[in-house]
Structure 1
Amino acid sequence: MDSQDNLSLKKRLRYQFDNFMSQGGFAVFLALLSAFFAAFVLMTLVRYMVELIFPNEGSPDILWEVFVQLIGLRDVGDDANFAAKIVGVFAIFIGLIFFSSLVAFVTQTFEEQLLMLRKGKSIVVEKDHTLILGFTDRISDIIEELIVANESEEDAVIVILAEEDKEVMDDFFRNNIADFKTTRLVTRNGSVTNLKNLKKVGVNDAKSVIILNEAKGADLEDFKSLSDSRVVKAILAVVAANEEVKLPSIVVEIHSEQYRRLAETIAPGVVTTLNEADILARILVQTSRNVGLATVYLNLVGFEGNEFYFYRPTLGWKNISFSKLQFHLPGTIPLGVRQIDGSLMLNPPKDYVLANNDEAIVLAEDDSAIEFYPEPTVQPREIGYQDELKVAERKMEKYLLIGWNNKTAIALGEYAKYVIPGSQVNLVVRDLTDEIKAKFDQIAKAYPDVNLQVKEVNVDSIEQLKTLCPYEFDSIAILAGSGKKAEEIDAKTLTILLELRQIFREYTAQTANKVMTDLIAEIINTEDTDLVVKAGVKDFLLSNQFVSKILAQVSQEPDVMSIYLDLFSADGSELYIKPISLYFPEEVVRQVTFADCVLAAQSRDEICLGVRINSEIGIREKNYGINLLPKLDRRLFLSLDDALITLAEDEG
């Protein structure tokens, strides 16, 4: 019975010891430290007893001698007697065990912390940082945009949480981003839907959260649906981690309309969703009908170049009308008004008088450039057409769309909304499946006044491309195909461009007629822009860069998304590039200032944002001829080949 009790006691003690040691590194450290201290006390008592029985000459400092012997810094000494030497040997031996174990434990713990840091598992202690969840091919463009946005801050922070290894992410950013300027980049590894991981990266103190979608537009619908559901789960995790209070603005990219509605209902007014296909398809159509608009949009979205701001002067607007406002805000262009209820008006009536609580929607290079002057800073001249306005005659249009992806159906519908009855829109695909045919027929049925046609053509064959008579179209838009890498997708697009250019050359050589068809291409990789320009492309849609810029800007100012939605829509006012001859007679074109252009556009109920110089269209260093926000008093020396960039209700 006693033996059983003793055995149970041993088990209980062992169990308690195991529980104590399982608490982690600090418990192990305490155990080793306690053992070392116990050894120190024991050996000190033994040494005192030996010293009483076999005293040494002199008065040794026993406490110090025992301690330095335990940590291995001192031997027993030649002048000690035999008993003291025996005790010293035991002290050194015991110290070798316990102190070495303690040092080894500290070293191991330090190495584990370094390993944890390398793996990206340590906590982030930051405030007002931008948190990015996920790691996709958009990440570098988003980071570059945020770096530009953070230039005015002394110590800005971007934190990235993704399932990729921290070392992989760090190497990627070092290789792809040349200058971080005033921004620090912090990477951490872990699941983006895990609450502990989110709290570890400071989601409670973040000013905004960007959630990236793993799926690309060209991926299968099942994978896009799965990726959308993961994004929604990540939104729920962010809301839960913040306990639904003081939520940061959350910006996400979601492909499915169903999941977008679901995401926006999780935290109304906090979650902003972006539909890549919808936005890019609208931009593609507008660009193919107004060559140069893609470059204009690239200058508007993001932080590099010009940005949208909401501005209200401290002392109010002093009953100023919107038409006069443009000459009281030098260095900027007012595009509209945000009223106190949050509603937006782009290109409001000229006689609209701003209320003191209205905010002007202003396009400017930086918010520091925005200043309201009570008096106009420049007096424009009425040298443009004022009474008898010229109207651009609308003609039948003919467009060719090559390729089928998630933007094609939207683009077909947008073309049909813009063109006049009787115009023609052709679609060419490699494989005309029943699904594509059904979607196309549905669109064609919805727009019976537009001649919509679809053909199955091997676009890799120059002979089959010739059967399309591509030189007869006003513009040809080539949509990005499918592929695992951006380089692979762009290579296919570039091949089609070169084949079309060859067809154009042969046609001109045979007929002596110059081909007027504009080529528009969707490009995935930003680095391929020079190649497509040399291939004869008049304009290009950088799909990755567009979406990345919008995600970055909306994360810092969520209300900007409503401006983009208005600009990209066929309803209301859109951007156009219109010939200068609609605004000024030939004899005054070279004399006009930008203020004169602004006034001339106002006479047509339009807002002038800048000019396009025709002679600079193919020059990258000249921004492909696009010049936004010149100084109001600057003389432009335009020609009849140049154009104004305006915000207008229609293209007339």
Structure 2
Amino acid sequence: MTNDSSRASGNQVSWQKRLQDNFDKYIRLVLTLANNSSQASGNEITWQKRLQYKFDNFMSKGGMSVFLALVSVFITAFAVMTTARYVVERFFPNGPTKGTDDLLWEIFVQLIGLRDTGDEANFAAKFVGVITIFMGLVLFSSLVAFITQQFESRLELLRKGKSLVVEENHTLILGFGDRVVDIIKELVLANESESDAVVVILADKDKEEMDDFLRNNIAELKTTRVVTRNGPIANLSNLDKVGVKVAKSIIILNDSKSSDNEQFKTLSDARVVKGILAVVAANGEENLPPIIVELHSEQYRRLAQNIAPGAVTTLNEADILARILVQTSRSVGLARVYLNLVGFEGNEFYFYRSKSGWNNITFGQLPFHLLQAVPLGIRHGDGTLTLKTNKDYKLSKDDEAIVLAGDDSTIEFFPEPVVQHNRIGCVERNQTLELETENYLIIGWNSKTAIALEEYAKSVVKDSQVNLAVEVLTDEIKAEFENIAKAYPHIKMEVMQVNMDSLDQLKTLKPYKFNSISILAGSGENAEEIDAKTLTILLELRQFFKEYSAATKTKVTTNLIAEIIDSQNTDLVIKAGVKDFLLTNQFVSKILAQVSQEPDVMSIYEDLFSLDGSELYIKPIWLYFPANQIGKLTFADCILAAQNRDEVCIGVRISSQAQIKNKNFGIYLAPTLDKDFILTVYDALITLADDQN
């Protein structure tokens, strides 16, 4: 009995244990399935998440996406509320039955908040109307707020100068600085014949700052529009925004001035070269417009020209201005001539070919077939230029005349001579100037000084004096000066250290003994500071000359030439007594602007500003006419007289008008052939010649 009970009890425990084990297995299975389900749910991307992701991507595309989303929600709300109103009207009629158009209009005006539910409406219509108005207020207010935000964003984008420029055939200027004012002024003159010309500026400066600067410094733009944009000039995206591929020409400005240190100039040159690379990358080598750049380093100039041969024209401010300085200091009035030649104000250089052919005439006969233009030389069919072409050279059909004229519309070739010139009064070449020793003084040291010293040494006669005065005579300046002096032993050269703020020390230079004193721009934070220093030295010298003349009863004939950075200081320089002057920014800016419109003109400037070949001179009238024949003469007479001396006459200088600004300081360039002049022995001809004799 006991054994049977024990076996029964043991069997019973075994059954319960098995039941418990099965239950535990079931629970573990459920937990496992639940866990697996949870993991599957976590790994699976639900349709809600996918929808949210697509919506986020859509909204991130910008303002148009937000606008479309708001409009979609508005339309959806309109459809929902219209459906709700139809249902309400069906079960709870609100007065006389309304047509579909009336009901739709009522829902719409309630959504945009222009109409309430109406006092006569029943409760159901009012309830739906209130909901409609509430939804409309939220949605319509959001839409209005979005439009306002987008409008403000667009204004901010315009203020920052980031928007697209939709222009073609425009002049593109990359960079910004003081020089940009004179460039734009020149382009305004060049574009007067166009009804709607455009200049686009891209620079890494604030747009509002650029716009304010241009408004303050340019009085009138006439037919030209100026568009400014902000951004790095070497960024391809920025270049595309300003229409680099459809620009007529591109000017890349240099950040550095002649007074800056060499390290900063090198960095600025590198940035210009990088800008050239960006333009080439944006356009491709096959579709490049003319690119005009200003570079200080000869190394970078060669590099720039090799990037895109034939498309890049480089200009070196120091090289050109130093040569102009020497030429103008040796011939009073020549600086004014150069100012009339460069740029678009006054006279310009043109390449002209007669449509009817040249009728087998010689270069000497050509001037008398052009009434309002003066030929200076020939551009041959192979592209080579010859200034002051031999007068016996016969023009071929492929030749282009290099002419100086007020406008290209005035250039016309006549088959027959238009003016009969007077051959009686002309003298032959045997009449020459007797060259004397010359004395010159340069005050100040910058990138142009060494070039000017060497140009003086090459051009003056033996035993002439060329001195240099600087405030701080460094070892570097002394070594460079001594190298130049050793290279030209036939010239007397001396360098001195002088405190320019001390009138007593300036007097020790004996400035009255020099033919000309050139005051070069020094260093400073800005053009105003540099010019102030130059003008101070100028006034001190002028005051000393007055005192010296009063004390010795001797007239001082020394000419003062000052290098002025800011062209707006011109009037100050004239009132200070400078008979000749340099306007650095104006000279270079005029050349940059003109070359941007006609790149081949640069080769003419390079020839004119070089000692090699022909140069411009202002020579006394008695070299060309006997004293008893000087009087009433036509410009044609002057041209023929110059030809007899193997020279090309381009104008006349009247000495009695040398200080009259509205008479262009007595300079008359390329007048009409039949213009009469009443000349005296003190007047002069402006000619292109091989030398000063």
Rounded to whole Å, the distance in 2 between the matches of 1:493 and 1:512 is 28
Rounded to whole Å, the distance in 2 between the matches of 1:39 and 1:498 is 81
Q: Which residue of 1 aligns with 2:500?
A: 459
Residue 105 of structure 1: how far off its partner (Å): 0.9
Say if 1:612 and 1:643, in contact at 8 Å, map to a contact too: yes
Q: Which residue of 1 aligns with 2:81?
A: 43
Does 2:444 match 1:406? no
Does 2:328 match 1:290? no
Say if 1:400 and 1:426, in contact at 8 Å, map to a contact too: yes
Say if 1:340 and 1:358, in contact at 8 Å, map to a contact too: yes
Q: Which residue of 1 aligns with 2:64?
A: 26
Residue 102 of structure 1: how far off its partner (Å): 1.4
Say if 1:130 and 1:206, in contact at 8 Å, map to a contact too: yes
Q: Which residue of 2 aligns with 1:536?
A: 577
Q: Deviations over 1:525-577 (max 9, x none)?
A: 22322222232211001111000100000000000000000000001000000
Does 2:356 match 1:318? no
- 1:530 maps to a residue whose letter is D
Instruction: Compare CA radii of gyration and give the structure with the larger one.
Output: 2
Say if 1:383 and 1:596, in contact at 8 Å, map to a contact too: no
Unaligned runs of 5+ in 2: 1-36
Rounded to whole Å, the distance in 2 between the matches of 1:252 and 1:603 is 40
Residue 245 of structure 1: how far off its partner (Å): 3.1
Superposition TM-score, scaled by structure 2 size: 0.92
- 1:50 maps to a residue whose letter is V
Q: Which residue, 524, 527, 531 being the options, matches 1:486?
A: 527
Residue 586 of structure 1: how far off its partner (Å): 1.0
Say if 1:389 and 1:582, in contact at 8 Å, map to a contact too: no
Say if 1:316 and 1:357, in contact at 8 Å, map to a contact too: no
Q: Which residue, 95, 114, 122 being the options, matches 2:136?
A: 95
Q: Deviations over 1:315-368 (max 9, x none)?
A: 111111000101001111100000111100000111011111100000000000
Q: Which residue, 310, 315, 339 being the options, matches 1:269?
A: 310
Q: Deviations over 1:96-135 (max 9, x none)?
A: 1122211211221122112212222221111111111111
Q: Which has the higher mean CA deviation after the structures are superposed, 441-450 or 572-581?
A: 441-450
Equivalences for residues 622-637 of structure 1 within 5 A = 622-637=663-678
Residue 7 of structure 1: how far off its partner (Å): 7.7
- 1:142 alignment partner, SS class: helix
Say if 1:333 and 1:609, in contact at 8 Å, map to a contact too: yes
Say if 2:428 and 2:624, in contact at 8 Å, map to a contact too: no
Rounded to whole Å, the distance in 2 between the matches of 1:458 and 1:6 is 85
- 1:268 maps to a residue whose letter is P
Equivalences for residues 590-629 of structure 1 within 5 A = 590-629=631-670
- 2:326 maps to a residue whose letter is V
Say if 1:313 and 1:372, in contact at 8 Å, map to a contact too: yes
Rounded to whole Å, the distance in 2 between the matches of 1:461 and 1:59 is 104
Equivalences for residues 121-520 of structure 1 within 5 A = 121-387=162-428, 389-520=430-561
- 2:76 maps to a residue whose letter is A
Residue 190 of structure 1: how far off its partner (Å): 1.6
Unaligned runs of 5+ in 1: none
Rounded to whole Å, the distance in 2 between the matches of 1:518 and 1:199 is 51
Q: Which has the higher mean CA deviation after the structures are superposed, 299-308 or 115-124?
A: 115-124
Distance 1:397 1:577, change over 3 A: same
Q: Which residue of 1 aligns with 2:9?
A: none
Residue 188 of structure 1: how far off its partner (Å): 1.4
Rounded to whole Å, the distance in 2 between the matches of 1:510 and 1:485 is 38
Rounded to whole Å, the distance in 1 between the matches of 2:184 and 2:283 is 24
Q: Which residue of 2 aligns with 1:14?
A: 52
Residue 634 of structure 1: how far off its partner (Å): 2.2
Residue 175 of structure 1: how far off its partner (Å): 2.0
Equivalences for residues 75-90 of structure 1 within 5 A = 75-90=116-131
Q: Deviations over 1:589-643 (max 9, x none)?
A: 1132211111010000001111111111112121112111222222211111111
Rounded to whole Å, the distance in 2 between the matches of 1:297 and 1:473 is 23
Residue 502 of structure 1: how far off its partner (Å): 2.5
Rounded to whole Å, the distance in 2 between the matches of 1:386 and 1:646 is 16
Q: Which has the higher mean CA deviation after the structures are superposed, 405-414 or 234-243?
A: 234-243
Say if 2:348 and 2:405, in contact at 8 Å, map to a contact too: yes
Q: Which has the higher mean CA deviation after the structures are superposed, 454-463 or 565-574?
A: 454-463
Rounded to whole Å, the distance in 1 between the matches of 2:42 and 2:212 is 61
Residue 79 of structure 1: how far off its partner (Å): 2.5
- 1:95 maps to a residue whose letter is G
Residue 8 of structure 1: how far off its partner (Å): 4.7
Rounded to whole Å, the distance in 1 between the matches of 2:177 and 2:324 is 23
Does 2:686 match 1:645? yes
How many residue pairs were aligned?
652
Percent identity of paired positions between Structure 1 and Structure 2: 68
Q: Which residue, 607, 613, 622 being the options, matches 1:581?
A: 622
Q: Deviations over 1:167-220 (max 9, x none)?
A: 222222222222211111111122211111111111111100111111101011
Rounded to whole Å, the distance in 2 between the matches of 1:400 and 1:6 is 89
- 1:569 maps to a residue whose letter is S
Residue 385 of structure 1: how far off its partner (Å): 4.1
Superposition TM-score, scaled by structure 1 size: 0.98
- 2:110 maps to a residue whose letter is Q
Rounded to whole Å, the distance in 2 between the matches of 1:595 and 1:23 is 72
- 1:234 maps to a residue whose letter is G
Q: Which has the higher mean CA deviation after the structures are superposed, 125-134 or 384-393?
A: 384-393
Q: Deviations over 1:473-517 (max 9, x none)?
A: 111111111112222212211111222122222322332222221
Q: Deviations over 1:43-99 (max 9, x none)?
A: 222222222221222222332222221111211122222111111111111111122
Distance 1:50 1:5, change over 3 A: farther
- 2:277 alignment partner, SS class: helix
Q: Which residue of 1 aligns with 2:24?
A: none
Rounded to whole Å, the distance in 2 between the matches of 1:639 and 1:568 is 29
